Every structure is written in C-alpha cells, then in structure tokens.
Amino acid sequence: MSTPPVPASSDALPRLLLLLSATTGLVDAASVLGLGKVFTANMTGNVVFLGFAAAGTSGFRFAPALLALAAFMTGAWGAGKLGRAQSARPLGQWLMRAAVTEAALLWSAALVALSIDVATQAPEPAVLTVIALTGFAMGLRNATIRQLKVPDLTTTVLTLTITGIAADQTGRTTPNFLRRFGAVLAIFAGATVGALLLRLGGLACPLALAGLIVLGATFAFLRSPVAAAPHGK
C-alpha cells in the first residue's frame, strides 16, 4: 500500500518536518555526547562506528551501535504497520498517533537518563535503555516521514540534501534551495542547543525538549487543512 505525496501547495507539512529536523540534532547530541560513541537518530554513523570497533579502535564498542540499529529497525517496522493501519484516516490523526508514541519514548528516555552519570557512563543498563528507547523513537519517526514523500525533508539525513544544494545550482536559486538549507540549519541548531542543554542541565534535558517539540509541532499541524485529508488509499 503506497502513500501519495502530500500536495506541494501546502507549507504546513514542510514546516512540521523542519521542526522535527531540529529534534534530530537534540537526540544525536544526547546520544553522541551523553551515551558514548553512538548515534540513535542517524544510523550511518553507527555502521561506521561498528567498522571502527571491528578494527579494534579504542573507545568504540559493538553493543551500543548494534542495539541502536536493532531498536531503530524495530521502530521503523512498527511505523510501517501503523501507517498501513491508519491509511484511511486523516493525515493529522496518523501523524498525531506517531508523535504521541515518539514523545512518550523520548520522555521515558529522559526519565531514565536522570540516573546516568555521563562522565562514567554508568549505570550501563540505564545507558543501554536510553539508547534503545531513543533508537526506537527515531526509527518510528524515519519510517513515518518516509511514507510522506516530502522532497528534501527526511528530518534526519543530510547527505543528499547537501548534495542537492551544491549540485542543482544553475546560477539562480533552485525551488527547493530554501527547504534544503532550512533542513541543514534546523539540525545544526538542534545539535547546538542539545549540546548546551546537556552541558548545563544534564542528559535528560535535550531528550525532554525533543519530545516536547515533536508533540507541540504535530499538534500545531492539526490546524492545517491538509491534516484532514486521508494520508493513503
């Protein structure tokens, strides 16, 4: 069952995805800086880290990266099932259910993070739990956004976005330039704020803020007319 692209005439969904992109920076700031060398929003980094671990490089371990990958894939699988189950329902209702689930996972991770000593990465069960919860949440997010088919806004991956910024320049601004640049800026801003929050308030702060933005931005999206349209056929 495929999902048709959202009408390009609506700016509400791109605005939502730009806000969600900022939460990617928040989550990766929490995971890379607070949970050791592991990404829970961007899986490319984990595959690279696994290669470093395989080569015996100091500071890189198999368990966190493998756990993040497994949790991410499980979340993506769940999002696929949720999308198919909600295909006849309004777009906003489907996205809100996904957002509530994601926010609950991020807030649960924030609660567990309160017990973690970032400097010593202890207790290890709590560290692994936060990796699993945030990895699942971001897998759910990625698979949900993938079904929307909004060009240049995956909310997590920037390689193709940055490639498009450079490769599509023809002497004048391309139609998607601002959207692409906005995605880069959103993740940059999220990472910056996440690093500052972690340093000043602890590991739970960027995770709690990420959950708040996910829920608040999706709730605001419900006011858009496009939210009432069925998301699939």
| Mean of per-residue pLDDT scores for the chain | 89
pLDDT tier for residue 184 given thresholds of 50, 70 and 90: very high
Helix extents (H) in 86-158: 91-113, 124-148
Residues 34-83 pLDDT 10s = 999 999 998 999 999 999 999 999 989 999 999 999 999 999 999 999 88
Q: What is the pTM of this model?
A: 0.90
Q: What is the torsional sign of CA 133, 134, 137, 139?
A: negative
The beta-strand segments (E) located in the chain are none
Please determine, for residue 8, whether its predicted confidence score (pLDDT) is greater than 80.
Answer: no
Residues 96-138 pLDDT 10s = 999 999 999 999 999 999 999 999 999 999 999 999 999 999 9
| All residues at 6 or more sequence positions from 60 whose CB lies less than 8 Å from its CB, including other chains | 37, 49, 50, 52, 53
179: tokens are 């959207």
Residue closest to 67 by CA, chosen among 36, 91, 93: 36
Backbone angles phi, psi at 230, to 5 degrees: -60, 140
| CA–CA gap between residue 203 and residue 113 (Å, rounded) | 6
Q: Is 188 exposed, middle or buried (0-12, 13-18, 19+ CB in 10 A)?
A: middle
Q: Say which amino acid occupies 112.
A: V
pLDDT (0 to 100) of residue 6: 46
**∠145-147-151 over CA atoms, to 5°?**
70
